[in-house]
Amino acid sequence: MPRTSDGRERLIEAGVELFSQRPYGSIGVAELCTRAGVNKGSFYYFFASKEALALAVIDRHWTWQKGVWAGILDGSGSLLDRLRGLFDATAQMQVDAVTGTGWVAGCLFGNLALEVSSQNEPVRLRLQEIFDEQIAMIASRLASAVESGELQSVADVDGAAKAIVAQLEGLVLFAKVFNDPSQLDALWQNSLALLGLAPARA
Amino acid sequence: MPRTSDGRERLIEAGVELFSQRPYGSIGVAELCTRAGVNKGSFYYFFASKEALALAVIDRHWTWQKGVWAGILDGSGSLLDRLRGLFDATAQMQVDAVTGTGWVAGCLFGNLALEVSSQNEPVRLRLQEIFDEQIAMIASRLASAVESGELQSVADVDGAAKAIVAQLEGLVLFAKVFNDPSQLDALWQNSLALLGLAPARA
């Protein structure tokens, strides 16, 4: 099989697919190669280890997700409209996963975070950066909305953004345990409460 | 080695310890037996499979944690005092884990939820029951506080309790990724916001 960069691409795509569906520890290099249609020699030509592929998979998925997030967060409408659009898109991804595979996929970063944080230092450190970037993406839009006067209730935009991302991860965990994307329905109301914009349940 | 019930106990204790520290998929029956000091024949005398042990481990850990939660939630003081006590105890467990092992252990139930939900139906269904019980434990105390007039801001106690448990799981995830129990420090303020008791960041 020729060692074209196409093989590298196919391995990354196979990794995004498999690591999103099953535990990291349950997927070996052999299965990744089979899914990608490359042989083992080619794998080690492109990647030093399964961990090296995992880091490339994480970066690929984040590049994609960051684009989706930025597209929605920098779109038109009020901050609250855009934030709601982001949550709706997140829920829709889980609906699509259930439709395609029968299972809520959850968040690739959250899944890896809880599975391998105490086992794999490079992965853990990369996930730190990604969660920090997610929080910063929301915090910067909250800050703009505070500055423009749209949002007056938030003094600590970093803390509020972090609370919202934590709420998202917690509800995605419930969506996985209950295999039910509608667990994410509460994200909007809970985020409004975290922003001081609504009594939690009134 | 005699097949006393002591061997069963030691296997469950080994499971609580190992499954709390490392991914479920990375721990085999052989390692569990070594840690417990029982031989493989004895393992299969007590448990039909690693999954059967995992279910016993989950039940053991929940029986223990439920007792801790009930002791704090039914203790003296206002509801808010008791809720804060529960969060402080949760954070302290992560501090203890770091002191003992160098690593934030996270939540055994959350870890298993994200690692094996799409792979292991009996475990997933048992975790559903436990998260529902956790939410109900908090919801019932919120309801009592609403009834007594201590808490007037919460109309939907079930939704508020679920939001608080989701926030807890999300912040525990951050504690694991950053290997830093102080990630849980925001749980109190965020929970007040979710209860409509404080502007999130004012």
The answer to whether A197 and A187 have CB atoms below 8 angstroms apart is no
CA distance B8 to chain A (A): 26
CA distance B18 to chain A (A): 12
Report residue A76: phi and psi, to 5°.
-90, 170
Sequence-ordered alpha helix ranges (H) in chain A: 5-21, 29-36, 40-46, 50-73, 79-101, 108-116, 121-148, 157-177, 187-194
CA distance B101 to chain A (A): 10
> Closest residue of A to B127, CA-based?
A177
**Residues A115-161: tens digit of each pLDDT:** 998 889 999 999 999 999 999 999 999 999 999 999 987 889 999 99
Q: Is A151 helix (H, G, I), strand (E, B) or coil?
A: coil
CA distance A1 to chain B (A): 32
Position B201 confidence tier, pLDDT thresholds 50, 70, 90: very low
Of the candidate ranges A57-66, B45-54, B93-102, the one whose mean pLDDT is the lowest: B93-102
Residue A200 has pLDDT above 80, yes or no: no
Top pLDDT among A127 and B5 is at A127
The whole-number pLDDT of residue B41 equals 93
Structure tokens at A193: 């409460």
Report A:173-192 residues touching B (Cβ under 8 A): 173-174, 176-179, 186, 189-190
Cβ contact A119–B21 (<8 Å): no
Query: A124: which chain B residues are within 8 Å (Cβ-Cβ)?
Result: 177, 179
Q: CB-based contact (8 Å) between A10 and chain B?
A: no
Cβ contact A25–B26 (<8 Å): yes
Residue A77 has pLDDT above 90, yes or no: yes
Query: B171: which chain A residues are within 8 Å (Cβ-Cβ)?
Result: 166
The whole-number pLDDT of residue A138 equals 98
The whole-number pLDDT of residue A198 equals 73
The whole-number pLDDT of residue A154 equals 87
Return the closest-CA partner of residue A197 out of A80, A81, A75, A87.
Answer: A80
Q: CB-based contact (8 Å) between A131 and chain B?
A: yes
Residues 6+ positions from B201 with CB-CB distance below 8 Å: A153, A154, A155, A156, A157, A159, A160, A196, B189
CA distance B143 to chain A (A): 13
Residue A108 has pLDDT above 80, yes or no: yes
Residue A98 has pLDDT above 70, yes or no: yes
Report B:27-86 residues touching A (Cβ under 8 A): none
Query: A168: which chain B residues are within 8 Å (Cβ-Cβ)?
Result: 170
**Residues B131-180: tens digit of each pLDDT:** 999 999 999 999 999 999 999 878 899 999 999 999 999 999 999 999 99
The whole-number pLDDT of residue A201 equals 46
The whole-number pLDDT of residue B109 equals 96
% of chain B residues with pLDDT over 70? 96
Q: How many CB atoms are located within 10 Å of the residue A144 CB?
A: 14
Residues 6+ positions from A4 with CB-CB distance below 8 Å: none
Q: Does domain A58-194 have CATH number 1.10.260.40?
A: no
The whole-number pLDDT of residue A3 equals 56
Query: B165: which chain A residues are within 8 Å (Cβ-Cβ)?
Result: 170
% of chain A residues with pLDDT over 90? 90
Q: How many CB atoms are located within 10 Å of the residue B40 CB?
A: 12
Cβ contact B153–A119 (<8 Å): no
What burial class does residue A1 get, using C-beta atoms within 10 Å of its C-beta: 0-12 exposed, 13-18 middle, 19+ buried?
exposed
Could you please state the CATH topology (level 3) that the domain comprising B56-194 is classified under.
Tetracycline Repressor; domain 2 (1.10.357)
**Residues B103-141: tens digit of each pLDDT:** 999 999 999 999 998 889 999 999 999 999 999 999 999
The whole-number pLDDT of residue B34 equals 98
The whole-number pLDDT of residue B200 equals 44
- Nearest CB among A26, A106, A124 relative to B177 is that of A124
The answer to whether B158 and B139 have CB atoms below 8 angstroms apart is yes
Say which residue the tokens 């009930």 belong to: B70
% of chain A residues with pLDDT over 70? 96
Residues 6+ positions from A200 with CB-CB distance below 8 Å: A189, A190, A193, B153, B154, B156, B159, B160, B163, B193, B194, B195, B196
